[in-house]
Structure 1
């Protein structure tokens, strides 16, 4: 496997970090077939080492909560057959549960750590090319009118800043429109997410996917579906061949 890694940054809050299979502060340990490990799918650890990926991908990143199945492994397994036989797919987990968009603004600890990890991932272990950011966040911004009103401007600024700081002006940004949150402002956040008209920004809508009993986090089944949706969106727009999707 001499080909450079194709790197995808996974960021946002808890539904990207993954709570599939987590109940009563424990993960049930169930890993669906669609999320199986593969030697060609690697994970960038909290200590900045490449290793074979397996769920929970965010186990040493989102350490304040219990992590389970997220969309990352299903995404990688769905996308891998669309790539060359020698392709190596690298996942860079950065999501932190319970975080609002303002906590990801340039200069914040979370933003700077995300950018640092993305850069390191592209440099270490034989190098690689950052192909896209997968972003699932917004539930924490549904709790106030002010946060919901500011969301559109904040997410667009985040995208511009990430592209500038990674020197990748056309870096694809695949955003998940939220499926849960405070009922008062969830539609305002979704309106902002689905209304972005920036180039190379794709939207995948999580609305309607099954939720855990907390009515906030996606189930394991839903995370598999979301991972497949993310892979299909990326392949459809950025690959010439989408066999298997």
Structure 2
């Protein structure tokens, strides 16, 4: 028997199709905010924009809707300790912006330490992303956007860094085809850090993409944890708001365009 809360969520989804946001990429998307060593102090390191509410749902690893709460990727990015990422503050800000009906759904798919080549069509991470996206749609959702934060692993090799733009464009087109969403919105984050010395090459590719409905939010300058790789909790909250602003501005412009036709 399904838990009572899950039954309530299933009933709630019948009222309208819930907007779905796919969270994909590597560790800064799955979230390391507030993580020290192998622990995350969830009692003291969960600011208001990251706190749970029945208006924000999460697709679990078992493909069930549940109330979203940090860490969103705990059962997805299972080989590392997860903390705060940008997903919850993004969702809170989108709801506050009034452009999406409640509830909305987050679909965590990010896995730390992964290169963009590992997200290629037919590979495990890509197949899981598509599988979870389809499951979310089947369970009452409609795809609103992909939030993508990845590339730190591609800064180690110059060859990988220089191939990043092409690989990212291919990923976008493959996702749109396999999800049957030719205009699917993708909001990517330009790196704030990297594992190697070719960060600037990857950032240039991210900021220079000329694919329709692909936006870029620049994380450069956001505060990093002592490892100089992962965003702090405060930085993740800021990034979530930045991603929400990009989404809200884009949807507002799109709505005005449709009305003017």
**Fold conserved between structures, TM > 0.5:** yes
Q: 2:151 aligned with 1:151, yes or no?
A: no
User: Which ranges of structure 1 fall in alignment gaps of 5 or more residues?
Assistant: none
The residue aligned with 1:50 is 65
CA distance in 1, matches of 2:116, 2:101: 37
Shift of 1:155: 0.4
Shift of 1:4: 1.5
CA distance in 2, matches of 1:196, 1:64: 32
Larger Rg computed on CA atoms? 2
Give SS of 2:24's match: strand
Seen in structure 2, the aligned counterparts of structure 1 residues 142 and 85 have a Cα distance that, compared at 3 Å, is: closer
The residue aligned with 1:97 is 112
The residue aligned with 2:95 is 80
Shift of 1:25: 1.2
Is the CA contact (8 Å cut-off) linking 2:99 and 2:248 kept in structure 1? Answer: no
The residue aligned with 2:146 is 133
Q: 2:242 aligned with 1:229, yes or no?
A: yes
CA distance in 2, matches of 1:138, 1:152: 10
CA distance in 2, matches of 1:182, 1:55: 25
Q: 2:28 aligned with 1:15, yes or no?
A: yes
Q: 206, 209, 214: which one pairs with 1:196?
A: 209
Q: Which string of whole-angstrom CA distances, capped at 9 and with x for unpartnered residues, describes residues 96-152 of structure 1?
A: 00000000000000000000100001111xx11000000000000000011011111
Counterparts in 2 of 1:181-192, with a 5 A limit?
Answer: 181-182=194-195, 184-192=197-205
Shift of 1:217: 0.2
The residue aligned with 1:108 is 123
The residue aligned with 1:238 is 251
Is the CA contact (8 Å cut-off) linking 1:3 and 1:87 kept in structure 2? Answer: no
TM superposition score normalised by structure 1 = 0.95
CA distance in 2, matches of 1:34, 1:198: 31
CA distance in 1, matches of 2:85, 2:113: 15
Which structure has the highest helix share of the two?
A: 2
Shift of 1:183: 5.0
The structure 1 segments of at least 4 consecutive aligned residues displaced by more than 4 Å after TM superposition are none
Is the CA contact (8 Å cut-off) linking 2:157 and 2:196 kept in structure 1? Answer: no
TM superposition score normalised by structure 2 = 0.89
Q: Which string of whole-angstrom CA distances, capped at 9 and with x for unpartnered residues, describes residues 10-62 of structure 1?
A: 00000000000001111121211111111110000000000000000000000
The residue aligned with 1:60 is 75
